[in-house]
Structures are given as C-alpha cells and as structure tokens.
Amino acid sequence: MAVAQWVKTLTFYEILVGMKATITVFIDRILLRKRKAITLQYPHEKRDLPGTYRGMIALLRYDDGTDKCVGCDLCEAACPSRVITVISSEVEGEPMKRYAKEYYMDMTRCLFCGLCVQACPVDALAMTKEYEWAKYNKRDLYLNKEQLLALGDRNFPVREKKLEFQHPNVAYFNIGYKNLPPKDS
Amino acid sequence: MEMLVFAGAAVVKIAVVMGVVLLTVAFLTLAERKVLSWMQDRMGPMEVGPYGILQPIADGIKLFFKEDIVPAGANRLLFSLAPILSLVPAFIGFAVVPYGPNREIELFGVTIKPFIITDINIGILYILAFTSIGAYGIILGGWASNNKYSLLGGLRAAAQVISYELNVGLAIISVLILAGSLSMVTIAEKQAGSILNWNVIGMGHGAGIWWWFPVTQIVAFVVYVISAVAETNRLPFDLPEAESELVAGWMTEYSGMRFAFFFMAEYANMILVSCIASVLFLGGYHAPYPGTLLPANLAWIEGVAWFTVKVYGFLFLFFWLRATLPRLRYDQLMRFGWKVMLPLALGNIVITAIVVYFLRD
C-alpha cells in the first residue's frame, strides 16, 4: 500500500489524471468535434426566455386604444420599492370613470417582483420580456405613462396578456390566476 | 568590409529573431486564451477578426494608447525602470539559442553561422545570469508601486525565483556533465543521432561495449520543467500575481505600455525557457530519427522545424498545466522547492557524475 502510494507520488499520478481530463476535453472539442462550447455569443445570439420571464413593466390598452388603467393606486400600494407614482383623475364629462392622469415608474429602483401586476384589478399592467435597458443617463429610466404604454404596445400587440382572460366585463372583475370569471355570464 | 558584413549579418539575425519572438509573444497570448477556453468548454476571444485571431493586435493598440498612470507616492524612476528591467533580460537570452543546425556559410569572405545569433562558449551560463536579473524588475516594480499588494507580490516573486533558479541551475549541471561544455551549440551537437541520444534518454555516452548504457536525465528534465514553470511565475506557481489574494501582485499598479512590458516579459520568458528545455534535454534541432529526410542542403529546414515543434510543444504544456492545476499555497511551494526539487537535483548530479566517470573509461 505504502509502496503504491510512493509510486503514485513519484510519477505525479494525480496530476497526470487531471491533465488527462483536460486534454480529453481539448481533443474532443478540437479533433473529434464531440463537444460544443456552452458559450452564448450574447449580442449576436440570445437565450430563449421562459414564458414567465419578468422583464420591463408595461401599461396596456384596450383594443380601441383607451387605457386599461383606472388609476386605483393599488399597484403603488403593492410596490415594495415605491417605484410607482400614480396621479389619478376623473374622465372629463364622465364622473364615474377615473383614469391615471400621470403614471411614473422609477425603474432604477424596480426589483421586478411582479407584485404590481398581481395587484392590478383591471389587468392593466404586464411584464414584458425586455431586458436590454442599459442607459447612459440614470434619469432615462424614470418612465412616464407614454413610455410605459409604448412598451405595452411594442410587446403585446393583441393588447391582452393571455387570451383566456379576455372577457367583456374584464374591467369590473378582479382578474387573478385563481378565480377566473366564467366566459359567458 | 569584413567587419561591415559581419555586423550586417548580426543585425539581420537579431531582427529576424526579435521579430519572430515578438510575433510569437503576441499570438501566444491569443493561443493561451484559446487553448484554455477549449479545455473549459468555452470559446475564447471571438469578436476581433475571424475566430478572434486579431485579438493580440487589438490588445496591443489598446495598451499602447492607454493612459500612463504613475500612482501617487510611487518612486518614479524605479517604477518606470522596472518593466524595462524585466523585459530586456527576457529577450537577451535568445542570442545564444541555436535555432537550427550548426552550419556555416561564406558571405563575402566572412564565415557566418545563420541559425544562431552568437555562439559564445558560456551560452547557458549567460542565459542564467541574465534571466536572474529579470527578478530585479519584478521586485523593484513591486516596491516602487507604493502598494502593499505589489510589495507582497514582488517579495514572493523574489523568494520564488531564487528558490527555483537554484533547481534550474542544478538540473542543468547534470546536462553539462554529459556535454562537457557550456555552449548551447555544443550541447545540442552532442545529442546528434536519434531520440535515444537526447539527454532525456541519454544513450551514447559510454565507451566501448557500454555505448548503449542510458545516462538518463529524466529526473533533471522533470526538475527543470517544474522549476521553469515556477521561474516564469506561471500557474500552478503564479503566487506573485495570485489574483485572488494579491489583486495582480507586483503588476497591480501598472497599466498601459508598462503593463504590456511585464506581460511580454512573462511570455518571452516562457519561450526562452522552452527553447532551453528543448536544447538541453530534447536534442534541440535534432529529429527523433537518425539523420534527415530532406537532402543535405535542405536539412536545415527540418532542423528548424523540429526545434519549432519542440518549443511549441513546451508552450502547449504551459497552457495545459494552467488549465489543469490549482495554485499552490506559499509554504507548499517553498517546501516543494527546497525539500523535494533540490535533493532530487543534487542526487541526480551525484549519480550522473559517478555513472559518467565509470562509463567514459
């Protein structure tokens, strides 16, 4: 036993085992072409994002182009980082209807938890798959309503997050994943 | 006139050798990154040029145009001197390396050896003497930076180079016993024949019927290779620049062209060490088979090609070791150098001397 250990030490056995491992990878890669690099050449090729990816947050519209947002402030209340500022107001001439006159999101603070999206009773908020939002100026990440709506238009051309959520009375129900309203009621 | 031709030939040889060495240094950085990435399932540089082959040029331009920063409190003179002190000894050793067969050609009545810049009779001693000066560059650079990490890196480098320089010297001595000369050309000439006559196998030193007895220098070879890796501060012996402990060691405060000088010195040292290893232990420009395949007047091509293959094989070994082994701890490094390598090298000298003494009669 001790002799075998000495022979192993003198012949650098462990080091040779390690070097065999590296050269095997090298040969498989270069000569035999059995292995591939796991590298993704990022700006040229991009990873497929999962469906539940939580990227930039967007405001949505209805098909006729009006805002879904009713200015209820629930997203502002739900936000743990105080990203959202909503200034709500009445729709002129229609005292029962309210909307967000101004809507700001300070994306420098956003941690993309998605609580605002869950809190929204009218499904006006959605998470897109956009993530390349590096800016030279930090203030460029203070998004106003137009920018958030543009994000939504760009990423959700059908203007609905999920088709099964489309319901004539969608604005009046608290749509969650759990309690869907029946389709024809 | 004769003097002019001699000087002109020397300048041409120097220019060619420096050109080749600098080009090799440049593309060695790329080769290292590529080989490492291939061994680690990565791609390496891919952006500059096809498959990233122009990366060294981009790196060179970048380093050349970078701001030249001298840290506050640094010793300006030594801070500027250190990279040069490190680079020059690394390049100077190439003057005595035989790159091809020991031929002589007549040019305007002057005898010129085309494949070696100068064949001085203390070649290997000259290389050892000058590469030791490179350690000054490192420790002065570390001290002059006015940074504790740099100083620690410089100290480590000095201790390491001294410890392992000794083993390099002792490993070489047994080769000198076999060759009976310090000249690199003579050492390479003595290994003519085939792979069996190379110093790693070491046949052909016995007299009479003992011609076959191998005076193998495999121990000296292994000691030399390990010590050479340690001397060039390469992984797994890269403690002077251990980035996880010392930021970048003695190079922490260096940037731009001065950093490039240190970098080039490291790679030039790698090439030099590989050249010495191939000349001393692997027969230099001799092919592993007897004689040459090409006709006599073209045999030099074969010689240069074999020398190149051996040197690049060694350089690949450097990358291979780097891809495989983790860094040693400092006490392990010192213990290995003084308690393992030194006795091995000394014992090898004694045994070689005794064997050669009895074989030569």
A1-13 pLDDT tens trace: 788 888 888 888 8
Name the residue among A22, A29, A35 with its Cβ closest to that of B324: A22
Using alpha carbons, select from B279, B255, B271, B259 the residue that is nearest to residue B25: B271
A37/B320 CB distance under 8 A = no
Helix axes A13-30, A2-10, angle to 10 degrees: 50
* Residues of A whose CB is below 8 A from B40: 25
Q: Which residue of B has its CA nearest to A9?
A: B340
**Cβ neighbours of A36 in B, within 8 Å:** 41
Half-sphere exposure of B357 (CA within 13 A, CB side): 6
Q: Do B41 and A26 touch (CB under 8 A)?
A: no
pLDDT at residue A167, as a whole number: 47
Nearest-CA distance A39 → chain B (Å): 6
- The reply to whether residue B41 touches residue A41, judged by beta carbons under 8 angstroms, is no
User: How distant is the Cα of A16 from the closest Cα of chain B, in angstroms?
Assistant: 9
> Per-residue pLDDT averaged across A38-42, rounded?
86
Q: Of A80, A154, A67, A74, which is closest to residue A113 (Cα–Cα)?
A: A80
pLDDT on residue A31: 86
Q: Do A18 and B46 touch (CB under 8 A)?
A: no
Contacts of B37 in chain A (CB under 8 A): 37
**What residues of chain A lie within 8 A of the CB of B325, using their CB?**
15, 18
CB pair distance less than 8 Å for B41 and A37? yes
Residue B45: φ, ψ to 5°: -65, 130
According to DSSP, the residues that pair with A91 across neighbouring strands are: A94
Concatenating the DSSP letter of every residue in A147-182 gives: HHHHHHHHH-TTS-S-GGG--TTGGGS---SS-PPP
pLDDT for the residue numbered A80: 92
Tell if the CB–CB gap between B43 and A21 is shorter than 8 Å: no
For residue A30, list chain B residues with Cβ-Cβ distance below 8 A.
Answer: 38
Binned at pLDDT 50, 70 and 90, residue A159 comes out as: low
Backbone angles phi, psi at B75, to 5 degrees: -80, 105
Other C-beta atoms within 10 Å of A30: how many? Answer: 13
Nearest chain A CA: its distance from B284 CA (Å):
25
Q: Which residues contact A104 (CB under 8 A, 6 or more apart)?
A: A84, A85, A86, A142, A143, A144, A145
What is the per-residue pLDDT for A173? Answer: 43
**Residue for token pair 């290997």:** B124
The residue type of B4 is L
In chain A, the domains with their CATH numbers are 1-38 (no CATH), 57-172 (3.30.70.3270)
When pLDDT is averaged across residues A4-29 and rounded to a whole number, the result is 88
pLDDT score at A168: 47
Tell me which H or E stretch contains B11: helix B2-39
Q: Say if residue A182's pLDDT is above 70.
A: no
Q: Contact B221/B281 with Cβ under 8 angstroms?
A: yes
What is the nearest CA distance from B173 to chain A, expressed in angstroms? Answer: 22
Contact between B38 and A19 using a beta-carbon 8 Å cutoff: no
Q: Do B324 and A19 touch (CB under 8 A)?
A: yes
Scan residues 319-358 of B and list those with Cβ closer than 8 Å to A: 320-321, 323-325
Q: What pLDDT is stored for residue B303 in this prediction? A: 84
A25 vs B contacts (CB less than 8 Å) = 38-41
pLDDT score recorded for residue A172: 43
Question: Considering only alpha carbons, which residue of chain B is nearest residue A12?
Answer: B222
How many beta-carbon pairs under 8 angstroms link A with B?
37
Q: How does residue A171 score in pLDDT terms, banded at 50, 70 and 90?
A: very low
The predicted model scores a pTM of: 0.80
* Per-residue model confidence (pLDDT) at position A111: 92
Which one of B42, B323, B325 has the shortest CB-CB distance to A37? B42
- pLDDT higher than 60, residue A170: no
Interchain CB contact of B292 with A (< 8 Å) = no
Cβ distance of B324 and A41 shorter than 8 Å:
no
* CB-based contact B261:B84 (threshold 8 Å): yes
Calculate how close chain B gets to A18, using CA atoms only, in Å.
6
Determine the residue among B40, B218, B344 to mutate to test chain A binding: the one whose Cβ has the most chain A Cβ atoms within 10 Å.
B40
d(CA A174, CA B2): 101
Closest-CA residue in chain A for B38? Answer: A26
Lowest mean pLDDT among A41-45, A64-68, A103-107, B147-151: A64-68
Contact: B43, A41; criterion CB under 8 Å: yes
C-beta atoms of B41 and A35 within 8 A: yes
* Best A6, A26, A38 residue to mutate vs chain B (most B CBs within 10 Å): A26
Structure tokens at A89: 């107001």
**Segments in chain B below pLDDT 70:** 361
Average pLDDT, chain A: 81
